[in-house]
């Protein structure tokens, strides 16, 4: 099977043709492209992401960056078994959609790329389990607390905490909603397709510089994320409910005159 070159933008054709030419050699069993080019979202600034399947295991996992016709490739060579292993690891992590699931197969001498692609397309994104919610509530409290307590005394630190923490909070949101995580350059565009209110809040957050105004958007983002969970959980309620922790907490608090009820 060989993919015709006609669907691809003209600037990528020299690179695509070069990849297709590899099938003339015994060593090369297949090739796929992925990323923006495979999604038909490539622009005149896009690269060509590709994987080429070779007929033996490759101990080198480095990414190569040749330029063909003015287009930079991000290119790896690996065996079919290595690609299969990587794909199953992606399926087990269940954070981002497996690369081959949305790839375009340029050629496939063994027909095994097609079957691996069909397997990968059955993968489902990770969704946060009920037994993970206690830790999630804590991470949200902790991330917000680091920003809030520095608002007045160290506003630059507060800004940095919010900038760094936003990615984590959005990641939690994707997992709560059972969505595939995407790269940072695609986050806003992706959010606009399935959660426009949050996309708007994120737009306002990233375009605001004044720390108090930015913190207001930060809080609104958090409130949006935890709304399906019944809102923010007070930190003193964020205790494990398993019998072991409850027993040990009870022992601890029995020695404290002002111990919180648990």
* pLDDT (tens digit per residue) in 212-248: 999 999 999 999 999 999 999 999 899 998 999 999 9
Q: Are residues 141 and 237 in the same domain?
A: yes
pLDDT band at 259 (very low <50, low <70, confident <90, very high): low
Q: Are residues 68 and 148 in the same domain?
A: no
Residue 154, domain member (yes or no) = yes
Q: Are residues 55 and 101 in the same domain?
A: yes
pLDDT of 1: 52
Percent of the chain having pLDDT more than 90?
92
In the sheet that holds 67-68, the strands lie side by side as 67-68, 71-79, 48-54, 28-34, 104-108
pLDDT of 118: 98
Q: Could you tell me the maximum CA-CA distance found in the chain, to the nearest angstrom?
A: 80
Q: To which H or E segment does residue 86 belong?
A: helix 80-93
> Could you tell me the residue range of the domain that residue 156 belongs to?
130-253
Whether 3 shows a pLDDT value over 90: the answer reads no
Q: Are residues 143 and 244 in the same domain?
A: yes
| pLDDT per position as a tens digit, 82-114 | 999 999 999 999 999 999 999 999 999 999 999
pLDDT band at 5 (very low <50, low <70, confident <90, very high): low
Q: Are residues 161 and 198 in the same domain?
A: yes
pLDDT band at 2 (very low <50, low <70, confident <90, very high): low
Whether 147 shows a pLDDT value over 50: the answer reads yes
Whether 4 shows a pLDDT value over 80: the answer reads no
pLDDT band at 56 (very low <50, low <70, confident <90, very high): very high
| pLDDT per position as a tens digit, 155-207 | 999 999 999 999 999 999 999 999 999 999 999 999 999 999 999 999 999 99
Q: Are residues 65 and 91 in the same domain?
A: yes
pLDDT of 181: 98
Contact 114, 101 (CB under 8 A): no
Residue 192, domain member (yes or no) = yes
pLDDT of 262: 47
- Other beta carbons within 10 Å of 33: 24
d(CA 106, CA 30): 7
The pTM (predicted TM-score) of the whole model is 0.88
d(CA 59, CA 38): 27
Number of domains within the chain: 2
How far, CA to CA in Å, does 125 sit from each of 159, 181, 225?
31, 8, 18
Q: Are residues 194 and 240 in the same domain?
A: yes
Q: Are residues 33 and 137 in the same domain?
A: no
Residue 5, domain member (yes or no) = no
pLDDT of 256: 82
Q: Are residues 145 and 217 in the same domain?
A: yes
Mark which of 121, 142, 170 sits at the end of a domain: 121
């Amino acid at each position: 099977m060989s993919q015709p070159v006609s669907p691809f933008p003209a600037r990528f054709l020299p690179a695509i043709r070069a990849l297709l030419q590899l099938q003339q050699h015994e060593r090369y069993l297949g090739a796929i492209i992925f990323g923006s080019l495979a999604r038909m979202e490539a622009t005149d600034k896009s690269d060509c992401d590709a994987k080429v399947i070779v007929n033996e295991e490759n101990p080198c996992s480095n990414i190569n960056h040749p330029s063909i016709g003015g287009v930079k490739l991000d290119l790896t060579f690996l065996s079919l078994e290595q690609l299969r292993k990587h794909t199953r690891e992606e399926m087990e992590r269940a954070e981002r959609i497996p690369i081959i699931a949305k790839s375009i197969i340029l050629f496939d001498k063994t027909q095994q790329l097609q079957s691996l692609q069909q397997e990968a397309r059955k993968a489902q994104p990770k969704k946060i389990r009920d037994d993970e919610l206690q830790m999630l509530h804590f991470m949200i409290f902790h991330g917000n607390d680091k920003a809030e307590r520095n608002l007045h005394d160290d506003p630059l630190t507060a800004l940095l905490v919010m900038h760094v923490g936003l990615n984590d909070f959005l990641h939690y949101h994707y997992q709560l909603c059972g969505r595939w995580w995407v790269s940072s350059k695609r986050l806003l565009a992706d959010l606009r397709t399935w959660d426009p209110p949050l996309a708007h809040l994120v737009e306002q957050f990233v375009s605001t510089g004044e720390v108090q105004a930015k913190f207001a958007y930060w809080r609104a983002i958090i409130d949006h994320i935890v709304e399906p969970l019944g809102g923010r959980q007070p930190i003193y309620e964020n205790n494990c409910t398993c019998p072991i922790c409850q027993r040990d907490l009870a022992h601890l608090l029995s020695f404290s005159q002002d111990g919180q009820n648990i």
